[in-house]
Amino acid sequence: MKFARTSEDSDVLTTVLNTLQFNGQVFCYSRFTAPWALKLPAGDFAHFHVCESGHGWIKVEGSELPIPLRSGDLVIVPHGTAHVFSDDPKSKAIAFDTLLRRRPAKDHIVRHGGGGPETIAVCGSFQFENEIGNPIISLLPELIHVPHDNQFCVWLEPVIKGLAHEAQNPGEGSGSLINHLTGIIFVQAVRAWIEMQPHGEGGWLGALRDKQISAALNQMHRNPGRSWTIAKLAAEVGMSRSPFATRFTSFVGEPPLAYLTRLRMNLAAGYLKNERATVREIAERIGYESQASFSNAFKRQFSISPRGYRDKFKPKMN
């Protein structure tokens, strides 16, 4: 899935999100009755849980305190960390895979629990084809909690209702619709998390709240092959060279040209994996006049040559 607004006025967050090649799915629409608890193992994809009604708790492995969820709340576990979703932190957990295997065939609703107060939840996942090196995923916390009454989340209730309806009543096109709805959930949750960060925090994502640093990031992402210098970037956003470099490093966590190099290498990795362009053509596209200098920079980033990287992802012949 790609997100809209990819024209010349596209913002940097949209540009970066589009490189993720996002896929979302719903594991189950669930009716839990207390006591109940699910344990989800660590995995290679993010999880999300929505309390359509009732309440619950989320405890991520390694965290000291569980997070309470109320009706209408959303929680995302961006890094696929093992966690427990329950009615009470003290409830005994069952493995999520075990619960799914017990679900009767053709039943789209998962039922579990001891017969007490009911919680209705939607559980699913996000998967990203191009997660490695992407500046967003690595900066997200272990858990994003979006309360239903958050001022930035007026979108949440109608999206949840649409997602719950499709999960209960799957039909032709449901997979595509669910993918788009879960995409909205992920993007809006990231936006809400950014807005909830104190000014100056949140790393690269927090930097998007600073107009000048955000503009510089946007220039680099829209024109990665341009012969950028710190002075040129500073001039683009109306700042002097030294204050710009200091401010950029403070917000983003690395100097402007270091960030640019990493961006170029990540783009090159995507081109090598998904396109047939030659190494020289890719080098020129991302701003390198010399194939040798590009190859050296790529190897420093990924510990493998561009050709070796491409060979690694070639389809294997039977």
Segments making up each domain of the chain, as ranges: 12-196, 206-312
Pairing of strands 22-33, 118-128: antiparallel
- Lowest-confidence region among 8-12, 92-96, 177-181, 274-278: 8-12
pLDDT of residue 295: 96
Identify the DSSP state of 93.
Answer: P
What are the tens digits of pLDDT across the range 54-74? 999 999 999 889 999 999 899
Provide the pLDDT confidence category of residue 315 given band limits of 50, 70 and 90: low
Domain at 206-312, CATH homologous superfamily? Homeodomain-like (1.10.10.60)
Closest to 188 measured CA to CA, from 220, 157, 142, 211? 157
Helix axes 174-196, 156-168, angle to 10 degrees: 150
Question: What does pLDDT average to over the chain?
Answer: 85
- Lowest-confidence region among 28-42, 104-118, 141-155, 223-237: 141-155
Distance of CA 19 to the CA centre of its chain: 11
Reading the block at residue 34, the tokens are 């207390």
- Do residues 245 and 234 make contact, with C-beta atoms less than 8 angstroms apart? yes
Residues 6+ apart with CB under 8 A from 1: 21, 22, 23, 24, 179, 180, 183
pLDDT of residue 211: 87
Residue range 12-196 in CATH 2.60.120.280: yes
State the alpha helices, DSSP H only, in the chain: 12-18, 96-102, 156-168, 174-196, 203-207, 211-222, 230-236, 241-252, 256-274, 279-285, 291-302, 306-312
Using only the alpha carbons of the chain, give its radius of gyration.
22
pLDDT value at 7 more than 70: no
pLDDT value at 299 more than 70: yes
